[in-house]
Amino acid sequence: DGGITQSPKYLFRKEGQNVTLSCEQNLNHDAMYWYRQDPGQGLRLIYYSQIVNDFQKGDIAEGYSVSREKKESFPLTVTSAQKNPTAFYLCASSSGTGVNTGELFFGEGSRLTVL
Amino acid sequence: AQSVTQLDSQVPVFEEAPVELRCNYSSSVSVYLFWYVQYPNQGLQLLLKYLSGSTLVKGINGFEAEFNKSQTSFHLRKPSVHISDTAEYFCAVNPSGGSYIPTFGRGTSLIVHP
């Protein structure tokens, strides 16, 4: 089945540690995204990538980093510089070819808790 | 730039009653419109989308939405809800020129009571 796989589903981290969230897609999509979700605040864009080896900051990129070395993969690192990292993180992709309607396909999410 | 307003943060309703979740948008260009549903601790999944053509769009799980260009609205409706419809619903808009970054509303929590 085609889709987006995020791992781990749940992650606990001590303050001061970096953590990396994995996102893999087998939809052959060009564009990939990372969103952060906090209760009552909807979705906030962290980073996005339209093609391999290129990515742009979203609205809340501070304290996060990404890479896009392969079309299928877009990992997110939450660094120790992120002041309030406890949140639900969502990875998404979109086709990016032809007319891009903006329809996103989401993974199941990763919940990060900082202890 | 686009913006999306979901007018209700929470909508409580009894099982088998009808429901409408409201979504208004602003844009200086033509748009594509989407509704997504998110169940607790899960990702978002597409309910329905308007790209062109008929303004009444039918989606999964018995939901439908109507695109009203003059009122810049895209309200989501279901004639009879089930307990299993309890979830967060997000409206999103993307300009038809092909932007890569859709704009999401803040979400509406639908709570269905028995």
Summarised one tens digit per residue, pLDDT across range B18-32 is: 999 999 999 988 899
DSSP letter, residue B46: E
How big is the A-B interface in CB pairs under 8 Å?
65
Per-residue pLDDT tens over the stretch B84-113: 999 999 999 998 876 778 999 999 999 999
Pick the residue from chain A with its C-alpha nearest to B35.
A103
User: Distance from A17 to chain B by nearest Cα, in Å?
Assistant: 24
Average per-residue pLDDT for chain A = 93
CA neighbours within 13 Å on the CB side: how many for A33?
Answer: 24
Q: What are phi and psi of B97, to 5 degrees?
A: -75, -5
Per-residue pLDDT tens over the stretch A65-84: 999 999 999 999 999 888 89
Grade residue A41 by pLDDT with cuts at 50, 70 and 90.
confident
**Chain B residues with CB-CB distance to A32 below 8 A:** none
The answer to whether A42 contacts B90, with C-beta atoms less than 8 Å apart, is yes
Residue type, A39: P
The dihedral built from the CA positions of residue A58, A60, A62 and A68, taken in this order, carries a sign that is: negative
Radius of gyration of the CA atoms of chain A, in A: 13
**Chain A residues with CB-CB distance to B41 below 8 A:** 88, 109, 111
Residue type, B39: Y
B49, B100, B104 ranked by CB distance to A100: nearest:
B100
Tell me how long chain B is: 114
Tell me the DSSP string of A23-88: EEE-S--SEEEEEEE-TTS-EEEEEEEEETTEEEE-TT-TTEEE--SBTTB--EEE-TT-S---EE
Q: Provide the token pair at A11.
A: 């992650």
Grade residue B8 by pLDDT with cuts at 50, 70 and 90.
very high
Tell me how long chain A is: 115
